[in-house]
Structure 1
Amino acid sequence: MFPIRDDNPQVNTPYVTYGIIAANALAWFLLQGFGFGEQLNASVCHYGLIPADLFGDGLTDVAPRGVCPSDGMGWGGVFSSMFMHGSWMHILGNMWFLWVFGDNVEDSMGPVRFLLFYLLCGFCAAAAQVAADPSSAIPMVGASGAIGGVMGAYIMLFPRVKVHMFVILIIIFTTFRVPAIAMLGYWIVVQLLGAFSSMGSTGGGVAFWAHVGGFVGGALLVWVFKDEELLLNHPYRGWQRPKKAANIWDDPANRE
């Protein structure tokens, strides 16, 4: 299943969401060489978050280096890793989820608050992944954790909004709508299952704990960053019935 779009109207232009997508695209093109050749591997090692680099002072047993022969950016990797990706599917999938869910969350906070919220969710994701394995020498990259925070905020703000899902059933291609709480709830359950099943693993793979940390961080931080006045412009906020919400949205007086 893959989300195509939601039925949540966009009130204001989501400039920060667009800017974050542009920043990730520029990093992919300029720093990661479109995902080709040695530039991709070098960028992942240099700009990725390597937990072992954060505790290289003897406080923990640092794992032998096999993936990256040299140190990364240390604590700077907590920030830079949020704009790095490992493949075309990785960046396209992340940016699509941000495109679908980011605009409405930005609408609920305003651009400045949303930017700070997004970065804090990324830090929560990094903290969760590092806490899960602080001696790991495997670099973590991707905007998934921060976007997980956006999804956590979305499920808190707009649980009843219908999300259009694209599904492939063997040779049948179809779409259907489900409430956001069902789609995003399913997503976080999958991440939790993946996180617990990956405990003790020493190889690379999906940073499930980062996804969980970002999602939980976003679900909690949204109560601090949301703007009630901005939310009044959103007919689908909270648990309002879609029929009533549609009537509110159809009233031009509520679009100002």
Structure 2
Amino acid sequence: MARRAPRGTRRTTGTGAGCPPEDGGSPAPGAAVSGPGRADGGTPVVTWALIAVCCAVFLVGPGSGLNPAYGTGDALAAARGAYFARWGVIPAELAGGAPGALLTPFTALFVHGNWLHLLGNMLFLYVFGAMTEEHLGRLRFTLFYLGAGAAALAAYAAANADSEQTLIGASGAISAVLGAFLFLFPKARVTSLFPFLFFLPLRFPARVVLVFWFVLQWLAATGLGQGSPAVAYLAHLVGFAIGFLYAWGRFRRPARVRPPAAATEGDSQP
């Protein structure tokens, strides 16, 4: 656990789908993914709105380094620490019932540490959010995203109640979207860039990509695989489990939903 640091220097843990705010690690098995979008060709209003809000918060905050109000150099670093501590989750304060701490699992979902942290999360939300939103409906998807994301951060905080590292990032919520997507659209095709001798684009069923992603998160969380101390892998696992179980609980009686053929190239088997 990190020692308690001054507000301007408090360590920050990113929950960005594998992207820590400080070292900007890759968000998934490959460097990037692309997916089917909405099956009906409509606009995923909530998904785009969430992306827009996260980007706007990042641009006006100190994380982007573009707002002159936060200064430069040491002043900017101090401002970042204070900003993340104000809007992020600090497990010890949440566990202790500090004033305003109960809201931070929600506010932290819109705060990101750097450009790679933001872009990695928004890429995953863009790829997997549209079809999930289409199936759940806009209101239910909004509540699901916020509730699951906050629950994932709160679960991490409960498991690390003495920690004073600040948790920020949307990936508790995005991991829940991934879990729901895996149940709803296991055969949807997802393109991932895998770093072999060069970045090679390969298409796999979502169940392959997402199960692989989950295994990597689990290995990192348990210390059996490579991970970054700046990433809250437990929040990823909890969010993913919440999303999968929610989709299973709500949609298990109808047949498993599959996207139309246009969104699942060459996949015609039930």
Shorter-chain TM-score tier: 0.7 to 0.9
Give the 3-state SS of the residue equivalent to 1:242 in structure 2: coil
CA contact (8 A) 2:218 2:233 kept: yes
How far is 1:169 from its partner? 1.9
1:17 aligns with 2:47: yes
Distance 1:196 1:154, change over 3 A: same
In structure 2, which of residues 179, 184, 190 is the aligned counterpart of residue 157 of structure 1? 184
Deviation digits for residues 57-113 of structure 1 (CA, Å, limit 9, x no counterpart) = 6xxxxxxxxxxxxx7841111111111111111000000000000001001111111
Unaligned regions of 5+ residues in structure 1, if any? 58-70, 246-256
Find the aligned partners of 1:181 and 1:84 in 2 and give their Cα distance. 29
Kindly name which structure, 1 or 2, has the bigger radius of gyration based on alpha carbons: 1
Contact 1:127–1:213 under 8 Å retained in 2: no
* Alpha-carbon RMSD: 3.0
User: Of 10, 29, 35, which residue of structure 2 is paired with 1:6?
Assistant: 35
1:137 equivalent to 2:158? Answer no
2:70 is equivalent to residue 53 of structure 1: no
Is contact 1:121-1:217 (8 Å) kept? Answer: yes
Cα offsets for 1:191-225 (capped at 9, x unmatched):
11111229xxxx95100010001000111112455
Q: Match of 1:112? A: 139
Comparing 98-107 and 38-47, the one that deviates more: 38-47
Paired residues of 1:109 and 1:227 also in contact (CA < 8 A): no
Is structure 2 residue 210 aligned with structure 1 residue 184? yes
Q: Do residues 28 (structure 1) and 68 (structure 2) align?
A: no
Are the counterparts in 2 of residues 3 and 163 from structure 1 also a CA contact under 8 Å? no
Aligned pair partner of 2:238 in 209, 213, 231: 213
Other structure's SS at 2:166 match: coil
Cα gap change, 1:149 to 1:35, in 2 (>3 Å):
farther
**Alpha-carbon distance between aligned partners in 2 of 1:118 and 1:77, rounded to the nearest angstrom:** 15
CA deviation string 1:216-252 (max 9, x = no partner): 01111124556999x979326xx9x81368xxxxxxx
Q: Is 1:84 equivalent to 2:124 in the alignment?
A: no
Structure 1 residue runs of 4 or more that deviate by more than 4 Å after TM superposition: 224-229
In structure 2, relative to structure 1, the CA distance for the partners of 1:183 and 1:114 (3 Å cut) is same
Alignment correspondent of 2:221: 195
Q: 1:225 to 1:112 in 2, by over 3 A?
A: farther
Task: Report the TM-score when normalising by structure 1.
Answer: 0.78
Give the stretch that moved more between structures: 207-216 or 72-81: 72-81
For the structure 1 residues 97 and 72, does the alpha-carbon distance in structure 2 shift closer, same or farther, using more than 3 Å as the test? farther
User: For residues 226 and 98 of structure 1, do their structure 2 counterparts lie closer, same or farther at Cα, with a shift above 3 Å needed?
Assistant: farther
Q: Is 1:175 the equivalent of 2:201?
A: yes
Identity among equivalent positions (%) equals 35
Is the alpha carbon distance of 1:141 and 1:88 closer, same or farther for their aligned partners in structure 2, counting shifts above 3 Å? same
Bigger mean CA deviation after superposition, 217-226 or 104-113? 217-226
Q: Which amino acid aligns with 2:152?
A: A
- 1: CA distance between counterparts of 2:236 and 2:100? 22
Unmatched 5+ stretches in structure 2: 1-29, 67-75
1:18 partner letter: W
Deviation at 1:17?
A: 0.2
Q: Is the 8 A contact 1:50 1:72 kept in 2?
A: no
How far apart, in 2, do the equivalents of 1:174 and 1:232 lie? 30
Task: Return the structure number with greater relative CO, CA threshold 8 A, min gap 6.
Answer: 2
